[in-house]
Structure formats: C-alpha cells, structure tokens
Amino acid sequence: MKVNWLEFIVGCFLVAGITAAVVLALKVAGLTLDAGSGEFYTVYGRFSNIGSLKVRSPVKLGGVVIGSVSDIKIDPKTLQPVVTIKIDRRYSELGSDTTFSVLTSGLLGEQYLGVKPDFASMDDDGNPVYLKDGDTTNFTESAIVLEELLGKFLYSVSSAKTDNGSSN
C-alpha cells in the first residue's frame, strides 16, 4: 500500500506541475480571459502605420491595461490600417479627443497602444464629450519604425561626410 500512496502523491504533483505550466504559457501568450468587468465598448482608430501591432495587444493608460486590440483591417477606400480597440467600460470617460499611440515596451519589446486622455472635449453646451461605443478616431500616432530611423541616421551621417569632404 505504501508504494501506491507514493505513486498517487507523485501523480498529483505531476498533474499540478503540468497545470501550472499550461496556465503560465497561456498567461505569457496573452490568451487568458480579461480580468476586467467583462463589459467593453469598441472604438476604431485610423493609423498610417501600426508597425508590428497585433490582435490581443494591450491598450494601456499610464501603464495600466484598460483594454485590448480586437481586430486589425485595412480600409479599402483609404488603404489605412483600422484598429478595433476594446476598452473596459470602467474607463468610459475618455474624452473624444483622446490620442491613441502605437508604442513599444523597451527598445525591441512588444508593441501596444498607449492612451493619452483628453478631458477638455466639450460640446456646445459646455458638457464633456466622451468616446462612445462605435466611435472612430483620427487622433492617432503611428508606430516609430526602428529601421526607418536607422536609415535616416545613416543617410544624414553619409551626406554630412560628403559635405565635409567637398568643402576641404
């Protein structure tokens, strides 16, 4: 009987370890369920360049996750990326002029949407105007593409060298 108890305890420990590994893998991959209220509203953002932003990327306000990217499509008329943003209803008082920016965690980290709220949006009666479900915003800032920055830097360095060499 002792051997069977030992095998049972080892089996339980193995199952717990596998369960913990699966939960950790899902959490790292961003596939866990949202911990918010479960109620969201949708806002659409038009960008000129979204870099490597992906579906399920977080939407952060001051470093706090308030939503996620739920879809990315190209508008067939303007040929611009349109990002569908799900925001937790707890954060429903974002002004209509709130800016959404594609940002990067660290130098080469994942990309996410940063939110810069604007609380000064007012209607004709002086009441604040908030983003509502289904609104489309053009207050967006596109991703900074590292390769483009490096290319511009190298071009400016090479043209500066040729300018200095011709003036001697």
Q: Which residues fall within 8 angstroms of residue 142, CB to CB, at 6 or more apart?
A: 47, 48, 49, 50, 51, 102
Q: Which residues fall within 8 angstroms of residue 166, CB to CB, at 6 or more apart?
A: none
In a domain? residue 60: yes
Q: What pTM does this model have?
A: 0.65
Q: What is the pLDDT of residues 30-75, one digit of tens each?
A: 655 445 556 899 999 998 888 888 999 999 988 889 999 999 999 9
Count: domains in the chain: 2
In a domain? residue 115: yes
Q: What is the pLDDT of residues 102-113, one digit of tens each?
A: 888 877 778 888
Note whether 16 and 79 are same-domain residues: no
Residue 129 lies in domain: 40-146
